[in-house]
Structure formats: C-alpha cells, structure tokens
Structure 1
Amino acid sequence: DCPDEEADTVCDWLRSLPFVADRDGERWRYHDVVRAPMLRAERRRSPRGWAARHRGLAQVFGSWREEAEQAVADPWTD
C-alpha cells in the first residue's frame, strides 16, 4: 500500500486507470499494450539504472532460489 495520504490519492487515481490491473488488492500490473512501451522508454532513459535494478532483482531471486534448494533434498524433484 501507499505510505502517506498524498501517495494514497495518487495510488487511488493510478488504480482507477483502465490500463492498470489490480491483482488481489495488493499487486498492480500495467496492461501489456502500455507496459511494453513504458519499459522500453525506461531502458532508453537510464540504461545503467535499468541494469542496476535488474542485477538487484537477480540477486534477490538467486537468494530465494538458494533458500528453496536448502528446504528440499533434491530441488529438481520439487
């Protein structure tokens, strides 16, 4: 959820837009027709920032994978 009252107003407005899908009341996703051009624009605007964010995501997902592998004897059978 949004951190303060002003942000709540902006979040409510964003959720009301026809190209924003609200999933489970907590996760939002832009419609693919809007999402793809937005992502391309962001990549072009800040290639280094884009790469840094993706390295961070890769690290987080890698740590989650390691945790999951430790939870089972043979992760490939899970």
Structure 2
Amino acid sequence: MSKKWFPLIDEDKCIGCLACYNKCKHGVFDVENGRPVVVYREGCIDGCHGCGNLCPQGAIIYSGEYEQYIKCSCNCGK
C-alpha cells in the first residue's frame, strides 16, 4: 500500500540548508546536488512535522489527508 502522508519540498523556496535532512532520523530525505530530496516517504511518521517545523523558508508541505492521523508520540516533531 502506498503511503499517503509524506513531506514535499517546494524547490522554489528551498535554500538547501539541509535542516530537514539533519532532523529526520527515519531516512525520508537524502541529498542530491546539495539539496534535500524525499527518497523514502514510507519512513515518514504520520503527523510528525519535525522537518517542516525546522524549515526556515517554509518549503515543506505535506501530501495527503493527515488530519485523519493521530499525532505521533515520538516527539520527533519538536
């Protein structure tokens, strides 16, 4: 089954600071040409927002109907 909730990077806003890549311990991001890319969306924890909360440019949005998910308890979004 395909993951429906995961981060998307707005390449026009992204400055390549890699805050998202450095924050996520679930393997969601990799770096290509000095920029973060989503490579493993299945690793994203539903409701986390850790990468998006750290992004200084607001370049990360989330795909899917995440309102239906219970917030995670791993504290990775803080």
Which band: TM-score by shorter chain? under 0.3
Q: TM-score, normalised by structure 1?
A: 0.26
Say which structure is richer in helix. 1
Q: TM-score, normalised by structure 2?
A: 0.26
Report the structure number with the largest CA radius of gyration: 1
Say which structure is richer in strand. 2
By relative contact order (CA 8 Å, sep 6+), the higher-ranking structure is 2
